[in-house]
Structure 1
Amino acid sequence: MTTSEVFVTESSYQIAREASRVRLSGDFDINARDDLREALEGAVREDGAAEVVVDFAAAEFMDSEALGALIDGFNAGRDAGVKMSIVNAHGIVLRVLDVSGVLELFD
């Protein structure tokens, strides 16, 4: 299993991709948008998995920019025939996903 991690010093988030799981930790805003999109689309393209799980257990914040990147990742998965699912969303992240209707896309 390969793991790739992205660390950005001026922002407070981390993305780790392990096989078909993308683990998110920290705050996901405009600073994290492109890295999040790249990680999700990369998981769809490179791993050859039937499903990609996006794990929000350690994510503490998400804004509309990160939400857009998540939708882009979902669309990439749909186009490739890869199921995308969200697990462990909580707090404000769960609220953003629920209120926006994005949570329903991933079910």
Structure 2
Amino acid sequence: MSDVTLIRIPERFDFACHKKFNEDTDQALKASGASLINLDFSQVNYLDSAALGMVVYLHKKASAVNKKVQISNAHGIALEILEVANISKIIPVK
């Protein structure tokens, strides 16, 4: 078993993704043996405040079950939004 669960985030990450994001992350939170949830932002070119809220809430839920969350491959406007929101203060952005 891998200790990392990879979740690919869609090109447009907003409230419309809420249901799928929750399904994917709930599965990752329940996965035994996986201690890290890696959110792959390589395709993201838009995210809004709802998406930021989903990521922060995931961090809270993951912490409750001793798992970590990280964001990888963020670029362009998505990376700028993450930086302005200071997400890296609670979730590593790699």
Same fold (TM over 0.5): yes
CA drift of 1:85 comes to 0.9
Structure 2: any 5+ residue segments left out of the alignment?
A: none
Structure 1 outlier segments of 4+, above 2 Å: none
- Give the structure with the higher percent helix: 2
CA distance in 1, matches of 2:51, 2:87: 12
% identity of equivalent residues: 28
Q: How many residues align?
A: 90
Q: Distance in 1 between matches of 2:64 and 2:82?
A: 21
- What residue number does 2:83 align with? 98
SS at match of 2:11: strand
CA distance in 1, matches of 2:70, 2:16: 23
> RCO higher in 1 or 2 (8 Å CA, sep ≥ 6)?
2
Q: TM (normalized to structure 1)?
A: 0.74
Which structure shows the bigger proportion of residues in strand conformation?
A: 1
What's the TM-score once normalised by structure 2's chain length? 0.83
